[in-house]
Structure 1
Amino acid sequence: MNYTDYRQNITVQYCFPDNNSSCRKEIYTGPMNILLLVFLSCVSVCTVFLNLLVIISISHFKQLHTPTNLLILSLAVADFLLGLFVMPVYMMGLVDSCWYLGKMACCVLPVINSLLSSASLCSLVFIAVDRYIAVCDPLLYSTRVTVCKTSLFIILGWSLSLFYITMCLYFNDHFLPSQISTRCDGECVVVIAYSWVIVDLMVSFLAPCSVILILYSIIFNVARRQARTVRAVKNDASNKQGIRVSSSAETKAAKKLGTVIFVYLACWIPFYLSSLPADSLISVSVIYTVFSWLVLINSSVNPLIYAIFYPWFRKSVTFTVTCKIFQSSSSRLNLFPKQF
């Protein structure tokens, strides 16, 4: 989409008509703006709704109180808050060019966004570690990974995210309300220093990306060896009948892990690549806006990858939508009837 087309049919007014120092307001009325606003509104609603279903399901049903599901719950909480608070505010910029929430909110919103994004990334890393232990050391998984230990790691992950954002505020004065320079009332421009962009690239992208890629590579190799072993045993048993056993388990593992890695990289790589050439990152730039939304969209995809593909989630959603969770003892319903 051409930026000229994006800004077509602009009507110029003022953010605060009764204020002499008010900024000029550009109202975006082009058809592309309307379509984009509708699309992102749907993304925001889906992000809140899907992650809320994950939160309700795991919180309500006692059978889902497992270490892995607690990590998925932590991920869903971060993504839910992003969809509930961050996405609607960012959508205001698609209606017109004014900022109506004041200087404090101008600096607080990027902090909240960074905190929730960091917590979401920590959850993704912990999920990768959890699956690594489950696949590579299944016999000791139940003793090494418990609900109590997982809860402590979740608290640690959120605490580290908060500490990281605090350090960001300490070393980057542009996030402070007193340091935000506005030419007029109704403007919100946050400038992120290039040095901090490099630090954030290392801490928030390269480090977790490397951990996830390495762990999932090991998981895939182990799953492939296990699939080959099972296939060899079955082939030996069926050689006399001439039956060929397919490697469906191996294919499913490859697709699932490939989806996780592809979505993660596709949502985060463009944002960091676009930030490297510039001396600083400006929050009002078109590139920053587009790629920031791409990162936010990852929050609506996460529940699809980590929860909706699981049968227990589909069954729990059925109980939730039909209001059966309000029945007595509904929290003890069996979501895995075929396993018992």
Structure 2
Amino acid sequence: MNITTYQENLTVQYCFPDNNSSCRKVVHTGPAYIFLLIVFSCISVCTVFLNLLVIISISHFKQLHTPTNLLILSLAVADLLVGLFLMPVKIMQVADSCWHLGEVGCYISPIINYLSISASLFSLVLIAVDRYIAVSDPLLYHTRITVCKMSVIITVGWSGSLFYVFMYLYFNDHFHQSQVRCYGECVLFIKHSWVITNLIIVFVSPCSVIIILYSIIFKVARRQAKAVRAVTNGVSKSQGEKVSNCSETKAAKTLGIVICVYILCWIPFFLSSLSVESVSSLSVLWTIFGWLVYMNSSVNPLIYAIFYSWFRESVKYIVSCRIFESSSSRINLFPERVGSQ
């Protein structure tokens, strides 16, 4: 794109013409920006809709009230925050350079942003731990990990994530807004020391734990699969027993895909944050990699739809409004298990 074409696509105005200290507004026009706005808006709507399906499914159907599904529910809530709050804000910033949500909105937006990030990663770490216990010690899993215990752990995790977010923003002077140069601006500058600290605490350390645990999980799963084949060699088993033997391994593989996708979406974002002395939340690079991160919140429900039969079944009941029928919460979402009994 040459300079003339670029200037034709930018119309300089003021965010608040009646305010003498107003920031200059750069309005992006042209078919390319309109296309981006439409695409981003569709992604936001799909993210909200798909994660609401996950939340309603696990919350409504009693058969899905398991410790592992509570972790999926926690992850879906964090993804819902992204689609419901963060994506619309980023879409507004793509449309023009002004901040239209006021000073309070400028304080709250980064809190929701980093809270959803921290809570997502915390949920993924717990998922890895949960699958490790389920695969390595399946006989004692249901006594060691209960719905009540998992609910407490998730509550503590979200509270700890919120505390870390406040500390992170406080030490980067977010609540003082000393970097604001004009009315209609909301910029978050992160000190380089905190970029490194955040990289270690929020990405490197937890992801290392996740990778190590899943390496152990798949080794144990392969060993168990060989043992099952050896024991059942020449012996006919019912379909229900086969489902029981492979359920934990299948869940580990499915959630392993969720974690791999998460890491791949985040790697460009964190690597780019190391390339500058101070990072602005309005930089073009962070905008591009930021949307890659946000799109991860849309991918997780699609992974569930592909690999989890219970999610596909529950969606049918939700879309057809059959969840409003009496006793719908007790519907069996695993009909294949009934036939095998």
Verify same fold: TM over 0.5: yes
Question: Is this contact kept in 2: 1:107–1:190, CA < 8 A?
Answer: no
Q: Contact 1:135 / 1:223 at 8 angstroms: preserved in 2?
A: yes
| Contact 2:188–2:281 (Cα < 8 Å) also in 1 | yes
* Counterpart among 198, 223, 242 of residue 225 in structure 1: 223
- In the alignment, the residues of structure 1 paired with residue 260 and residue 7 of structure 2 have an alpha-carbon distance, to the nearest angstrom, of 32
- The aligned counterpart of 2:185 is 187
Shift of residue 113, structure 1, vs aligned partner: 0.5
**Equivalent-residue separation in structure 2 for 1:302 and 1:8 (angstroms):** 39
The answer on whether the counterparts of 1:6 and 1:32 sit within 8 Å (CA) in structure 2 is no
Q: Tell me, yes or no, if the aligned pair for 1:223 and 1:253 is still in contact at 8 Å.
A: no
Contact kept, 8 Å, 1:220 with 1:257, in 2: the verdict is no
**Matches of 1:308 and 1:92, distance apart in 2:** 32
What is the Cα deviation at residue 256 of structure 1?
4.2
TM-score of the superposition, structure 1-length normalised?
0.89
Structure 1: give runs of 5+ residues left out of the alignment. 239-248
Q: Where does residue 54 of structure 1 map in the other structure?
A: 54
Moved more, 304-313 or 60-69: 304-313
- 1:231 is displaced (CA, Å) by 4.0
Calculate the TM-score normalised by the size of structure 2: 0.89
Question: Is this contact kept in 2: 1:122–1:157, CA < 8 A?
Answer: yes
Aligned length: 327
Partner of 1:156: 156
Residues 4, 35 of structure 1: alpha-carbon distance in 2 compared, 3 angstrom cutoff? farther
Aligned counterpart, 1:34: 34
CA RMSD, 1 decimal: 2.6
Q: Distance in 1 between matches of 2:10 and 2:330?
A: 57
251-260 vs 192-201, greater mean Cα deviation: 251-260
Q: Which of residues 317, 324, 331 in structure 2 aligns to 1:319?
A: 317
Specify the alignment match of 1:245 in structure 2: none
Q: Is the 8 A contact 2:254 2:307 kept in 1?
A: no
- 2:240 is matched with none
1:76-101, Cα deviation, whole Å (9 max, x unpaired) = 11111221111101110111111112
Distance 1:150 1:6, change over 3 A: farther
Q: Deviations over 1:116-167 (max 9, x none)?
A: 1111111111111111111111010110110011101111110110111122
Contact map agreement 2:45 2:83 (CA 8 A) in 1:
yes
Match in the other structure for 1:293:
291
Distance 2:5 2:38 in 1: 17
SS in 2 for 1:38: helix
Q: Which amino acid aligns with 2:70?
A: L
**Residue pairs, 1:99-248, within 5 angstroms:** 99-173=99-173, 175-176=174-175, 178-232=176-230, 237=234
Residue deviations 1:266-291, cap 9 Å, x none?
A: 11111110011211111111011111
Query: 1:169–1:12: structure 2 CA closer, same or farther, 3 Å change rule?
Result: closer
Q: 1:18-48, CA deviations, whole angstroms, 9 ceiling, x for partnerless residues?
A: 2222222111113222222222111111110
Q: Structure 1 vs Structure 2: percent identity of aligned residues? A: 68
Q: Tell me which amino acid in the other structure corresponds to 2:123.
A: S
Contact 1:55/1:77 (<8 A) preserved: yes
Unaligned runs of 5+ in 2: 236-245
Counterpart of 1:243 in structure 2 is none
Matches within 5 A, 1:59-70: 59-70=59-70
Would the alpha carbon gap of residues 45 and 127 (structure 1) be closer, same or farther in structure 2, given more than 3 Å must change?
same
Task: String of CA shifts for 1:39-89, please: whole Å, max 9, x gaps.
Answer: 211111111001100111111111111111111111111111221111101
Please tell me whether residue 302 in structure 1 is matched to residue 318 in structure 2: no
- Secondary structure of 1:237's match? coil
Which residue does the alignment assign to 1:242? none
